[in-house]
Structure 1
Amino acid sequence: MTWTEPATWYANLASFYAAAAAFITDSAGNVLLVKPTYRDHWTFPGGYVDEGEYPHDACAREIREELGISVAVGDLLVVDWAPPAGQRPRAIVSFTFDCGSITNLDDLVLPGEELEDAAFFSLREAEQHLPDNVATRIHAATSARDLQASLYLAGGSVVSMEQNR
């Protein structure tokens, strides 16, 4: 085996995007979703992780930027590895964090150029408002919160580590 310069080694490794999202509910267990101005569907509050930023810090930053509030970023609920799709040439790792509950939407300040709405939806309604490959994160995040354990998804499907043994 020949030795490879670190710069060459790292330049040849696979690269991917990372995103961080907040799982926020109200006291009845309804899920907070936001409606971006640039998409046809709703999404979890959150966004891409910046270079040099930890995913949990990106989640907190995105909530401040998108909703105008500060939340405590809690446990990691879901990690979802999504392969390249459509115009996205790289895989994306999406981290969904438990950001607790808020009682109402009165304190939210949405950036009008980015978000046109925010609303709470029942679990079923939330799944219907999200793209199919993201909708599975609703059930996964709810289960992870109940189990107090993170769940791993691959392309939106739960992967059981037991089946890989």
Structure 2
Amino acid sequence: MLAYKDDKDFYESLPRKRIGVGALLFYKNQLLVLQPSYSNEWVLPGGTVEAEESPLEGLYRSIKEELKLQISPTRLIAIDYIHNRDVKGEYIQFLFEAKELTERQAQGLQLLKDDFKEFKFVDLEEATKLLTANAAKRLESALIALQDGQVTSYLEDGNLASFRAEMALL
């Protein structure tokens, strides 16, 4: 049995998970996607949540840093747990929806970080072809859940989680 000096010692011993955020930003029914400078695949606007920052604060900061844009998130669409399968390790991704961009916002977009080559607005079918596999699966599953009437969906590796089988075992 491990002995801890105090609460601080105990909590410092617990595992930590990286948290990411992404936003569905639409303009004229087209989704905004970004191409990172380090990849041929595309991503949704967003980023990694920093220490002592909430997911929503991280979303606001990331979008402002990436695109010089202030957004108005309308709801949390999905929470996605991604297992440790590559160099990224395990992480949790929050996916938000925001109000449709205005003409002024869409025309004023600027990539402020050297992290990205370009951005564009595409239809959902094209987005799923361009996005990383994880982001595309997350987008597809979240949209299916929304069509089925779910307000927020819980995903694992981009797939809608099934609670029925696990609950039957209890």
Contact 2:44 2:135 in 1 (8 A): no
Q: Which residue of 2 aligns with 1:22?
A: 23
How many pairs are equivalent?
163
RMSD after superposition: 2.0
Q: Which residue of 1 aligns with 2:159?
A: 157
In the alignment, residue 94 of structure 1 is paired with which amino acid? Q
Q: Which residue of 2 aligns with 1:94?
A: 93
**Mind listing any 5+ residue stretches in structure 1 that lack a counterpart?**
none
Q: How does 1:118-157 map to 2 (within 5 A)?
A: 118-146=119-147, 147=149, 149-157=151-159
TM-score, normalised via structure 1 length: 0.87
- Could you tell me how far apart the structure 1 residues matched to 2:93 and 2:87 are? 17
Shift of residue 60, structure 1, vs aligned partner: 1.0
Contact 1:18 1:93 in 2 (8 A): yes
Shift of residue 103, structure 1, vs aligned partner: 4.5
Q: 1:83 to 1:11 in 2, by over 3 A?
A: same
Shift of residue 119, structure 1, vs aligned partner: 1.0
Q: Which residue of 1 aligns with 2:33?
A: 33
Contact 1:23 1:141 in 2 (8 A): no
Q: 1:154 to 1:148 in 2, by over 3 A?
A: closer
Contact 2:83 2:91 in 1 (8 A): yes
- Could you tell me how far apart the structure 2 residues matched to 1:112 and 1:55 are? 20
Shift of residue 40, structure 1, vs aligned partner: 2.2
Q: 1:145 to 1:109 in 2, by over 3 A?
A: farther
In the alignment, residue 93 of structure 1 is paired with which amino acid? I
TM-score, normalised via structure 2 length: 0.85
Contact 2:138 2:157 in 1 (8 A): no
Identity of matched residues, %: 25
Shift of residue 86, structure 1, vs aligned partner: 2.0
Shift of residue 85, structure 1, vs aligned partner: 2.8
